[in-house]
Structure 1
Amino acid sequence: MKKIVFAISQLKTVKWARRIRGFKLVYTPLLAIVLFTVVMGVIMGTLQLQEKSQQEAALFRELSFAKQRIQLRFANNTEVLQSIGRDYVSTGESSKSKDNIVIEAENLLQSNHEIVQFIWINTEGQRQWKVPPNNLKTDWFYKKENAGAMSQALSKTIELSAATNRPAFSQFVSLEVPSEELVSKEIRNVFWQVVPQLYGSEVKGMVAILYTTQGLLEMIPGELKGQYRFTLMTDGEKLLAISSDKNTPRRAFSNQTSLDIGVLSPNLILRIDTYPPATNLTFRMLIGVVLGLSAFVIWSLWSVLKQMQVRQEAEANLRAETNFRSAMENSTPVGIRAHDMKKAITYVNPAFCEMTGWSAEELIGLKPPFAFWPEGQKGELTEKMDKALTLELNQDGKVGIEGAIIHRNGQVIQTRTFIAPLINEKGFQTGWVTSLIDISEPKKIREELAASQERFVTVLEGLDAAVSVVSDQTGELLFTNRFYRERFGNTAKGHFELAGGDIHQHQIDAANQESESEEIQLLDEATGTLKWYEVRRRFVPWVDGHLAQLLIATDITIRIEADDLARQQEERMQFTSRLTTMGEMASSLAHELNQPLAAISNYCMGVVKRLQGQLDPVLQKDILPALQKASDQAHRAGTIIQRIKGFVKRSEPQRKSCDISEIIHDAVGLVEIEAHRHRLSISTELAQNLPQVDLDPVLILQVLVNLLKNSLDSLREVYPLSSRWTAPPVQISADLDTSTFPAMLRIQVTDNGGGIPESVIERIFEPFFSTKNDGMGMGLNICRSVIESHQGRLMAKNRMDAEHTKISGCTFTILLPLESPGSLG
């Protein structure tokens, strides 16, 4: 019994031993791994704390160094400014000394990038000169939106420096500079320093320099800025400048200090932040050792070393292939995304994320219409995608879709998308894969070429010259502009007319030489008038490689007409010279003829007095009236000569109260002899009780005689001598025109001749214009001048026949005031 109990106890002991051994085999490595991990964690934590302490110490040391660097630079700049000011004050404001000072100032600006402006201010506070005078940065200081703040800050700084006789600084000025400008970041925040120049105890001027806060960071060595990010802020934590836009990690170390750059300076804080540290190989090696030992113990524990090796090899191959594919997808500029059968996005590569500005987490799961499609094109792009996917199901091929995506910042990118089915390892389609190519630049180039072509065509269309191109082989019209089409239509006929015929082979020898201009006259079919063109032509290679004739025709009709008008003016000037000579001769003749005419009149009157009472009454009745008329006509001739002389001298009409009926009868009597000689007649129609009018009877008589003669000449041209007995008489009438206020005396001379052509009726009163071959062109002009000297008007109007189809004569109308201007006051 004891043996059995002992055996059972031994069995239990063995079982417990096996259990303990199994526990040791299983859990001892696990406990060792846990203990090893805890120890390594404590060691790494200690190292981490020690490294953090060292980084904080190094951070404070580098911050102190940067602060001293900036303070030392400000102190050196102040000394240099005082030295420049002393040199300028001591040498005087001569041009030579100023040039030397300007060179020193330019050297200061070149060696100190934080200074962008150097200004010398005289004792009256006026800015005398500045360096540099003008560049890309300084232009923004004086623009309308910045000039006020800059001037106000400088004025306050000058007042503070003048009051304390010490260098002073202004507050920070934030400039309005568009972010797209190259210098936007450099000159965004600036401030002034004014250094007074003391000569004894008297201020002889001031030097003002403009600092940029971004330039202050240039004082810090580049190796420090590569390791740390430096930031300049005001005491209100307003950001003034930053050395890098790269973000720092959340657990980055930072420190800050106040910059005392001068006694009268604004509060300026310099902050330093650490960048992510370089990879800690020791730390990673320790982790690798821990993980390796743990894996080895676990693999040893479960006796799967061989299987794990096979698995590792398979994983390595898979990882290599995956890394290769990832590298290919990540390095390609083509955006790739995958869709499931419901068109939801299941994968995107970094290039696609960069195109859209969306992260992979935000994109995965989206369905069309996508948020990265332009708002106005979502419907169109959805339809294109549905159509492309349908084609992919029906046809095993790739379909390219041209469209656009919009970046998160608003930039539109033109793309071409290719779609292919996504097949799994079992041969079943699980979705689609799409690749996007950015075609913005090629499309932009095509659009620019199209815009350039459009601008070129617009220029040609806007030319006031006909431009045409004709093929030398077929004679086909290849190009025309608007001017050509308006003048010659859409055929090559106008081109050949301007070119003087067809294109001949011998003309192509001068293909690269422009021909001399030729003046060609053609009939404008649209207006029915002749046009003059200055034509230039040459042969040019066309887009298909063949030669074509380019022709440019400029309408020079106006120039030709101007040349003709100039020649006419020259002829008129010569005629005017002759007319002036004629006026001088008329004045001389008037002087010479006055005495003979006066003698004739006196002799006639003397004969009349002697014959009175001595002749037979019958003879007295015939002779004495004739002598009396001869004397009157001699007197009238003398009066006419005096009027001509007065007209040549441009004297005023000699007005007197006259009966217009008598003047009209006298004019008819003078012209009636010539009318009878040509078998024509004159009829008179005078209104009753016409009032007396103040006018010059001789000048008015001359006008009426001239108008009557013109009417008779018009009838002579229409009616030949054999049929003039049927010609209606020339009518002269006088009445009152009550359609005007006040009423005026109206005299009308009407004929039934050929009238005046409409093309010249507006010019008949111009000097030297005449429709007669032997006319001087002065008669009607003198008549209008005489009537206008009486404050009246002379007009001409054609008369139409009963059917109003053709001209049947002309009416000249004279309107004279009933009262002279002197009697109207």
Structure 2
Amino acid sequence: MKSSVLTNLVLKPFNWLRKIRGLKLVYTPLLAIVLFTLVMGIILGTLQLQDKGQQEAALFRELSFAKQRIQLRFSNNTESLNTINREIAASSDDMKLKQLVREQSNDLVQNNQEIVKIIWLDADSSRVWSVPISNPKSDWIGKHQNDQAINEALSSAIELSRVTNRTSFSQFISLDFAGSQPVAKDRRTVFWQVAPNIVGGQAIGFLAALYTTQGILDVIPAELKAHYRFTLLSDNDRVLAISSDRNTPKRAFSNQTSLDIGVLSPNIVLRIDTYPPPTDLTFRMLIGVVLGLSVFVIWSLWSVLKQMQVRQEAEANLRTETSFRNAMENSTPVGIRAHDMQKRITYVNRAFCEMTGWTAKELIGLTPPFPFWPDSKRDELVEKMNRVLRSEIDLKNGIEGSIMRRDGTMIQTRTFIAPLINEKGKQTGWVTSLIDISEPKKIREELAASQERFITVLEGLDAAVSVVDLENDKLLFANRFYRENFGDDSKGHFMLAGNADDLQTLHDVAEDLQDSPPGIPTSFLYQESESEEIQLSDGSNKWYEVRHRFIPWVDGRLAQLLIATDISVRKEAEELSRQQEERMQFTSRLTTMGEMASSLAHELNQPLSAISNYCMGVAKRLEGNSDPAVTKEILPALEKASEQAHRAGTIIQRIRGFVKRSEPQRKSTTIAEIINDAVGLVEIEAHRHRLAITSNIADNLPTVDIDPVLILQVLVNLLKNGLDSTREAYPLSSRWSAPPVAISADLDTSIFPAMLRIQVSDGGAGIPESVSERMFEPFFSTKSDGMGMGLNICRSIIESHHGRLWAVNRMDQEQTKLSGCTFTILLPLVSPEATEAMGAKENI
């Protein structure tokens, strides 16, 4: 008895410990489920409150946007009505402007769905005209019995506008439609907006626009009306218009605001109601799912509690090992499969299944021949597999082969095989791993084909391509053209690349890069030089256009790539073209001289006549009178005769200098003198055709090194073309309004270095696009008596000065038609010869 009591006393604490441990295992997950349920409830409630706040904020934002759209539309409409009023005031005597005003009013009605009619009333409130004349949008107005209400509302709005001299609005008019009319629903409520036309403080008329409240809602975007219901209300909560008849749920959110469309407008309230999604069902389903999952987990815990204690340790170890092995196998793109001693597949990883397109369940248990082997190679693969398993084939580098996916596509693989040894050291099978080499093999094949194509293209080029190692001057690559013309060494490369000093510099750069840290600076590479034209000094007199750049060779060495194109034929053609252009320039000068002969004769006739008259007067006075006082009267006449003779001589000297043929000779010249001479030569012809020439020369322009005779020829030609264009655009009767032909000179500082800019602008009809594409071509002319060489020679002269010449059409202020053309000349401030001379002095 005592022993049993002692036993109970000793075992009782251990029993309590076991119970506490069991309770801990049971109630800990239960407590976690309860806490999880509470947290989920709090989160769902918080989300619901947050969603409600977001919906209210979005509702207010969309209401503000809709209000802004409506206010902006009314503001634009009011501005349009005031604009039309100004046009009406200006079109009192002009029928064309009156018609334009009606068209503007009609466009306003057609482009604004809220306006159905616009009426113009005179100062006595009598209707003068209305728009649109016939339009389904407004025809319904005359088809109901509400004319009296509409006219009364219009009269009251006009009177209010007359008193205040401001835009006013009428009260809302509820229309009563007879029968079922299609517009009855959309335009049941209307109102007038009246804009007075004030001239000199008095109203000369009123412009009235009839609005529909339903049309105001059409200003709101359709996507907003699809998610919200918009309602227009009056002060007494009377519904003026509604965007949808669909009812909103009881828990829908709403908000409203006053529109304030005008100072003298009735108060309109815009209300917005939401169509919230059915979130209640979703929320309840989430709560049900959470509770259901909690109950299910509690029940599951009770069912697995007994087995948990026994299997916990074993499962933990197995889970760790399995996770490690799965992570290894799933992280590798290598396909792995295992075979037993009967060659049956016992295991495949995920990569192998993805590689073949077969699932693990379909592959495990299969024996050779396998379904992923190509049908045409199954016997060969069975034999090869037997030889591999008997170790008759060296597996150091693997076996290259191919497998067929389930969809029939082939992939190239490399297979490695290793024996599978168990814990007792006995072989139980084999493990094979497959690597997909389709893409690398395809890339290698494409690279080989690309290299072959590249070499073929280089060999077929009619240009010398060579690559030279800058460390040892060794020729690394040369195409066919280079080998045929320069041999198999690098002499031709350096002969084309530059002189011996440049070669030594390249050697020094290569040595510095070799001593520097690994890698060639990218800033040094890929800097392609400007193309150079080089004439060989080997007696062949061939010309080559040469480009070269530095590149890293395949082994990392610095190399120079050179491409030389034979341009001997082009240089010969350019020389022939230059000679031809010189002859054409002389012909053009003679032609221009012939055209100006009549003008010069007229100009010279006046000073020569004056000289003759003054001389005759002197002779008559000297015949009969030798008084000394006569001498005082004779001297002024002689001075005037001398001035006129000097003027005639100056004009003749200009013509002789212009016609005289000479080689281009550059000299430091002031561009203002050339422009003044050109204007003086052409101004005679301009006055004869009742046209004018203006010049605008910037101050402090530097002198430029140019051939003044050639540049004068260019400016005279461009001025004459401008006069011809203006003369064709303006007949003789209207040339008093023709703009003058303008010539200007300044510095263009938008480019570097700055250049001298000369522009000749005319007010003619511009140059058609078809002509502008060819106007600089030789022998192309739009004149019946033109040779087509003027502009071509002008461009040749400018380009011989290393400048540019181009033409740009100008548009009128409305940007609807051409209003003239501007020829622009850019000339360098310093000639290339002077630049080279300065560089030579600095080198010395």
TM-score norm. by structure 1 comes to 0.34
TM-score norm. by structure 2 comes to 0.33
Rg larger in 1 or in 2?
A: 1
